[in-house]
Amino acid sequence: MNKLQKTSLAIIIACGMASAQLWTVDAPNGQVQFDWIQDCYDDDFDETDENDPCYKTLGGWWFGFVAHDTKEKGENPSLAGPYDEYCKGDKSGEHLKVEAWIKTTLTGSSSWQTMVGPDNANCEGPPVTDKTTGTSLIEGTGLKVRFQLDNGVEEGYWEPTIAALAVNLSTGAEIGDPPPIPRDMEEKGTGFCLTYKSDHGSLDLALELGWDEDEYGYDTWIAPIPPAENETTLDFKWVGEEIPGAGNSRTVGDFAQEGWSAGDLRPGPFPIATAIGEMRAVKIRAKHYGSQETINFELIKFGFAGDCGTSSITTNSPKINSVKFDLVGRTLSMAMASVDKPVSVQIINLHGAVVHTQTLSPNANRINLSNMPTGVYLVRAPSLGYVSKITLK
**Which residues, other chains included, contact 191 with Cβ-Cβ below 8 Å and sequence gap of 6+?**
235, 236, 237, 238, 239, 253, 254, 304, 305
Decide if 312 is inside a domain. no
Decide if 378 is inside a domain. yes
Mean pLDDT of all residues in 49-59: 84
The torsion defined by the Cα of 158, 161, 165 and 168, in degrees rounded to 10, comes to 60
What would the DSSP string read from start to end of 210-241?
Answer: E--HHHH-S--EEEEPPPEEEEEEEEEE--S-
Is the pLDDT at 113 greater than 90? The verdict is yes
Supply the mean pLDDT for the chain: 81
Q: Which domain holds residue 264?
A: 3-304
268: left (phi over 0), alpha (psi -120 to 50) or beta: left
Give the N- to C-terminal CA distance of the chain in Å, as an integer: 56
Residues 287 and 346 occupy one common structural domain: no
d(CA 70, CA 80): 9
The domain boundary residue, chosen from 280, 304, 328 = 304
Query: Which position has the higher pLDDT, 325 or 7?
Result: 325
| C-alpha torsion sign, points 271, 276, 281, 285 | positive
The candidate with the shortest Cα–Cα distance to 180, out of 192, 168, 188, 189, is 168
Confidence of residue 5 (pLDDT cuts 50, 70, 90): very low
Residues 298 and 324 occupy one common structural domain: no
Neighbour count for residue 314 (Cβ, 10 Å): 15
Decide if 309 is inside a domain. no
Query: Which position has the higher pLDDT, 175 or 118?
Result: 118
Say how far residue 45 (Cα) sits from the centre of its chain.
30
What are residue 328's DSSP bridge partners? Answer: 331
The domain boundary residue, chosen from 241, 274, 304 = 304
d(CA 319, CA 96): 38
**Which residues, other chains included, contact 115 with Cβ-Cβ below 8 Å and sequence gap of 6+?**
10, 11, 62, 63, 64, 98, 99, 100, 125, 126, 145, 165
Residues 215 and 90 occupy one common structural domain: yes
Decide if 310 is inside a domain. no
Q: Cis before residue 269, ω within 30 degrees of 0?
A: yes
Residues 247 and 283 occupy one common structural domain: yes
Query: Which position has the higher pLDDT, 313 or 346?
Result: 346
Decide if 11 is inside a domain. yes
Residues 296 and 335 occupy one common structural domain: no
Confidence of residue 132 (pLDDT cuts 50, 70, 90): low
Residues 192 and 296 occupy one common structural domain: yes
Query: Which position has the higher pLDDT, 386 or 144?
Result: 144
pLDDT of residue 269: 81
Query: Which position has the higher pLDDT, 243 or 15?
Result: 243
Residues 295 and 368 occupy one common structural domain: no
State the CATH number of the domain containing residue 327.
Answer: 2.60.40.3080
Residues 71 and 189 occupy one common structural domain: yes
Residues 122 and 194 occupy one common structural domain: yes
Decide if 311 is inside a domain. no
Mean pLDDT of all residues in 90-103: 92
Residues 241 and 339 occupy one common structural domain: no
The candidate with the shortest Cα–Cα distance to 206, out of 252, 161, 165, is 165
Query: Which position has the higher pLDDT, 66 or 128?
Result: 66
Decide if 315 is inside a domain. no
Residues 254 and 335 occupy one common structural domain: no
Query: Which position has the higher pLDDT, 270 or 342?
Result: 270
Q: Structurally, how many domains does the chain consist of?
A: 2
Which range is least confidently modeled, 120-124, 224-228, 316-320, 338-342?
316-320
d(CA 63, CA 120): 13
Confidence of residue 320 (pLDDT cuts 50, 70, 90): very low
d(CA 331, CA 35): 43
**Which residues, other chains included, contact 61 with Cβ-Cβ below 8 Å and sequence gap of 6+?**
8, 9, 10, 11, 12, 13, 30, 31, 32, 167, 168, 171
Decide if 135 is inside a domain. yes
Which range is least confidently modeled, 129-143, 164-178, 286-300, 309-323?
309-323
On whether the CB atoms of residues 190 and 305 are closer than 8 A, the answer is yes
Is the pLDDT at 8 greater than 50? The verdict is no
pLDDT of residue 19: 45
d(CA 354, CA 364): 20
Which range is least confidently modeled, 106-110, 214-218, 383-387?
383-387
d(CA 181, CA 242): 27
Percent of the chain at pLDDT above 70?
A: 81
The domain boundary residue, chosen from 275, 304, 333 = 304
In one-letter notation, the amino acid at residue 357 is T
Residues 248 and 371 occupy one common structural domain: no
Confidence of residue 79 (pLDDT cuts 50, 70, 90): low
Is the pLDDT at 26 greater than 90? The verdict is no
On whether the CB atoms of residues 182 and 128 are closer than 8 A, the answer is no
